[in-house]
Structure 1
Amino acid sequence: MEAEIKIYQSCWKNLWLILGCMLFTVGGIYMITDESCRLVNKIIGGWLGVIFFGGGGLWLAVTTFYNAVKRIPYLVIYEDRVEQYVQWKAARYTIYFADVQRFRLIKISSSKQIAIDYKRTHFLKKMKSKTTSGIVKKLMTFNFLVSGAIESIYVSNLSMKGEDICRLLNEHLKRQDESEEKPS
């Protein structure tokens, strides 16, 4: 029996994102205080920039600090499943290897993600479920059109490389498939 594998968010990678947000926030504040700037630019470039990047940077800073202090892993890989920490719910989202066909590394713009290719039966069950809201179904459809998978795991800001995580997940998936094929 293999021990669980815990993967944490990288504080350094998140720090770079926070600094980028601060830069855009300072630019927004400059636009707001600049007398020669038009009102439309102040509202769109200034206030929206401060709200979006300032709020996003603050959220990222607080959650990064909280997760680092509490030692909350973003991903925990077990023998039969992987659990992803969902920050705003303070709960784990479980993905069972029995429901997955394969994991694959994808890149959307500059963000690395691991696409989760579910088995057809689980895919249909998820899309037809009455507990899945209409908005979530539309987001899953959009994700499928963009990446070929209804769900993915964001791995750009983790302490382990995305390629290594994807390899680990596929190894666990292969072991799970082999154990299901063995007769009792």
Structure 2
Amino acid sequence: MYRAVVLLIHYKHQTKKSYDLQHSQYYHSLQTHTPLNARCQIPNQQEFEHLVEILNNEDELTTLYLHHIYFSKATWLIANTIQNNTTLTALSIEQSYINDDQMNHLANALMLNKTLKTLCLPKNDIGKAGVKHLATVLQYNTTLQELDIASNRIGDAGAQHLANALKLNTVRSDFCSYIICTYT
């Protein structure tokens, strides 16, 4: 099965370069702090772990877009990366089968993160239990401003958890237009 991860990296400075990170020799590009945009295909967990190791040492990364990650440890690795990260302001993990347990781990990381302003988790497998973990964090996280959880399985109960959390948080109130509740 073909697995692809799209990775776009935005740095604080304006250097613009794009790299194909499919082959491990291109990981050096991330270590030199030169790319603004990068796209990569990461076919296995070992290469993803190598990428996360580099990102853990990256002090200028502000935006990270990951898509189509189909191995379960990926969300755990990203959660561990963001919990103490001080530069990442936007994170998107789309269509990566994030389930309720993985959302719980990600939510715990968000409790510690003080810089993430945008979180996009569309087209995953987040249900009402996962969104309840997220809603609990939203009651205390004062940094997050935008949230996209479209096309997940949050249902009415999950939507209610989010509505209650938004009464206490600064997350953009119009993000609700992005929520698509699907029922199973």
Considering fraction of residues, name the structure with more helix. 1
TM-score bracket for the superposition, by shorter chain length:
under 0.3
Q: Which has the higher contact order (CA 8 A, sep 6+)?
A: 1
Q: Which is greater in Rg?
A: 1
Considering fraction of residues, name the structure with more strand. 1
Give the TM-score of the pair, scaled to structure 1: 0.27
